[in-house]
Structure 1
Amino acid sequence: MNFREGFWSIYREALPVLFVALLGGLFSGLVLEELLASVERFPGLLVMVPVFLATRGNVYGALGGRIASGLHQGLISPAFEWNERLINAVIASFVNGIFISIFIGVISWIALQLLRWPSAALSELVAIMLLAGTITSVVLIFGLLAILFTGYRLGYDPDNLVGPIVTTLGDVFGMLFLLVAVLVVEAVFV
């Protein structure tokens, strides 16, 4: 494959995924509008949003890179079947996603206390992050694997899919489940 063919192949594969990512970003913004109503009830909530979304990309981008490499090397088949490499990567990502979510709640609360800014209770911020992080982790793992496996079977290079998929799924489901977590914690703590 020459340079021009390689360029157009990457462009053809990435453009539809980037378009879906654009729509996902718009949806996430709409969910953020809904989340703004909860800021009065949970001061400090907005401090956690960018960190939460960024860590979804970091943790699950690494998982996507491992899966893409495994697919290229033939170490992972593009199917939901028992594979020790796949299982280990998924479990490690899930555990990282949960622990980093708890850490976000704690470190955000500490930063707000040090700055003497208004803050919700530590238990509320951690509960929101833990619930949103857990649900988002499950959806991101299965969504990422399903899209990568399907794309690979259809002839797409998984390396072209990982970034936009992780970003879109992380933003869309991160914001959606953050809103769900806020509503659940509000119902439990009120």
Structure 2
Amino acid sequence: MSTAWTVRAITRAMLPVLLLLTLVEIGSGLVLGSFESTLLQYPSLLVLVPVTIGTAGNLGSILAARLSTAFHLGTLSFALDDAALVGNAVAIVALAATMFPLVGFGAWGLTALLGSTALPLSTVLVVSLASGLSLAVLAVAVTVVATYAAYRFELDPDDVVIPVVTNTCDVLGVVLLYLAVLAFV
């Protein structure tokens, strides 16, 4: 792993990643624009968009920080039976299972408080939980793959993984929320 902290080294490592992530974010905007009318029709779903992608990005970032620390300590093996890897992944999914119902309740409650609730609480909770849990599972997969790729390309996972995870979760969050809306609304 390179330890040179020069502008040139940082630019060489991060510019391709940031350019690729810019294209990924454009895709997220296109998906979001495709179901804008549904979001405007149901304000509680509109409230879910930034909270869902933000929460998933945070969960992925937590896992990325933990894996990066284990990587630097030399305790991460990337094996399917690695207790630290599996334990952290399960913890992230369990945290998502507790957080996303609260996110759904908060979105529904905020829109009810503002007098524009059109969907029942149960529907908002199902959409939030379904999209959130599936997003957490994908965030775990993206985080593990990005950490492993950083290791293989001799990049510092502290520099690469969190931007990759948060941007990918933005796109996946919008797509999975869209799919949950199609399935349950």
The one-letter code of the counterpart of 2:133 is T
Asked if 2 retains the 8 angstrom alpha-carbon contact of 1:25 and 1:171, the reply is: yes
Q: What residue number does 2:72 align with?
A: 72
The one-letter code of the counterpart of 1:74 is G
Q: What residue number does 1:86 align with?
A: 85
Q: What residue number does 1:19 align with?
A: 19
Determine helix, strand or coil for the equivalent of 2:35: helix
Deviations 1:143-162 (A, max 9, x none): 21012112212211101112
Deviation, 1:85, is 1.3
Asked if 2 retains the 8 angstrom alpha-carbon contact of 1:41 and 1:120, the reply is: no
CA distance, structure 2, for counterparts of residue 14 and residue 98 of structure 1: 33
Deviations 1:53-107 (A, max 9, x none): 1111111101100001111110112x23311111111111111122211111001
RMSD over aligned Cα atoms: 1.6
CA distance, structure 1, for counterparts of residue 101 and residue 131 of structure 2: 10
CA distance, structure 1, for counterparts of residue 135 and residue 81 of structure 2: 23
Q: What residue number does 2:175 align with?
A: 176
Deviation, 1:124, is 1.0
CA distance, structure 2, for counterparts of residue 10 and residue 68 of structure 1: 18
Determine helix, strand or coil for the equivalent of 1:44: helix
Does residue 1:163 correspond to 2:162, yes or no?
A: yes
Q: What residue number does 1:51 align with?
A: 51
CA distance, structure 1, for counterparts of residue 79 and residue 177 of structure 2: 28
Deviations 1:9-55 (A, max 9, x none): 22222111111211111011001112213225533211111111111
CA distance, structure 2, for counterparts of residue 50 and residue 87 of structure 1: 28
TM-score (norm 2): 0.91
Q: What residue number does 2:35 align with?
A: 35
Does residue 1:104 correspond to 2:103, yes or no?
A: yes
Asked if 2 retains the 8 angstrom alpha-carbon contact of 1:21 and 1:167, the reply is: no
Aligned length: 182
Asked if 2 retains the 8 angstrom alpha-carbon contact of 1:24 and 1:172, the reply is: yes
Asked if 2 retains the 8 angstrom alpha-carbon contact of 1:106 and 1:122, the reply is: yes
CA distance, structure 2, for counterparts of residue 44 and residue 129 of structure 1: 10
Q: Which runs of 5+ in 1 are unaligned?
A: none
TM-score (norm 1): 0.89
Moved over 2 A (4+): 7-11, 39-43
The one-letter code of the counterpart of 2:94 is V
